[in-house]
Amino acid sequence: MDPESIPAEPPAAFGDLFGIERSRLLALLATVEDAAWHLPTPCPEWDVLGLCRHLVGDDLAVLSWHRDGHRGTSPPDGVTPEGFIGWLDELQIEWVRAARRISPRLVTELLGWTGPMVADVLRAAAASPRTAHVSWASSDPVPAWLDHARELSEYWLHRQQLQSALGHDSDLRADVLAPVLDALRWAYPFRLDEAGLDVDGTVTVEVTGEVTTTWHLARIGLERRWGFVGAPASAPLAVVSMSTEQAWRLLSNNLAVQDQIGVIRSGNPALLRVLLRTRAIIGAPNGPDAPDAPS
């Protein structure tokens, strides 16, 4: 039994899913009253309007890079991972600051204008070539579809932050969330490989609720690398069980530290430590270093 590697063929039509995601964002923004544009969001320093301006910037960057082949900003040569995070944060802050003259009405109109173009770009892009870089999934190039899925997940996650800021529950409809979680899961084998633990056996991640799925991973094959496998023949070495809400929040660094105790875990502490600190993001995870909550 060999572990599953990131497949060449996309598991979903991400351009179509982006169209659905954008229509839901615009429907949400249509309900925002004047004062609510200035409510704080889970993104530090950004209110609702600021986060929407950030999304406009994301749209323009996707179109410029993927459609027009123009990348106007590149990280400094030789930058460290920590330096890259700082550079990216400053780039995003710079854009939102520069866009502060854009009104709520105009930001909504811009998102309505750019959305279909982004969807068309994702539909037209070749999905299989290993030309993309997704730092939380691999240090090597990955199929382009995983980058498309990463883009979709960022937009979906930001909409959940807007939902929260506006007093709404998370939108856990499976038509978009299931493909988002299916993409985010690729952080697990990469982080397990990075940990370098000399163990053999299976670990299991269970998600239940609006999206119900189970992922088994094992360190097998000639290269002794972690990958997804079928159901294990023996009891797993470590198990993490969580709700759909906990799963997307934990993988995206949106689960508050005090709420992480609600994630059920059992088994090998070193493996659990990796699973509980795995994030499909650029940056360090929040949360404790050790899985010392009761199982």
* CATH superfamily of domain region 187-277: SCP2 sterol-binding domain (3.30.1050.10)
CATH number of 14-184: 1.20.120.450
> In tens digits, what is the pLDDT along the chain, a chain of 295 residues?
456 689 999 999 999 999 999 999 999 999 999 999 999 999 988 999 999 999 999 999 999 999 999 988 877 887 777 787 787 888 889 999 999 999 999 999 999 999 999 999 999 999 999 999 999 999 999 999 999 999 999 999 999 999 999 999 999 999 999 999 999 999 999 999 999 999 999 999 999 999 999 999 998 777 889 999 999 889 999 999 999 999 999 999 999 999 999 999 999 999 999 999 999 998 778 766 545 443 3
Q: What gap in Å lies between CA 257 and CA 255, rounded to an integer?
A: 6
What ranges do the domains of the chain cover? 14-184, 187-277
| DSSP state string for 250-270 | HHTT-S-GGGGGGSEEEE-HH
Q: What gap in Å lies between CA 213 and CA 138, rounded to an integer?
A: 23
| DSSP state string for 55-102 | HHHHHHHHIIIIIT------PPTT--HHHHHHHHHHHHHHHHHHTTT-
Neighbours of 269 (CB within 10 A): 11
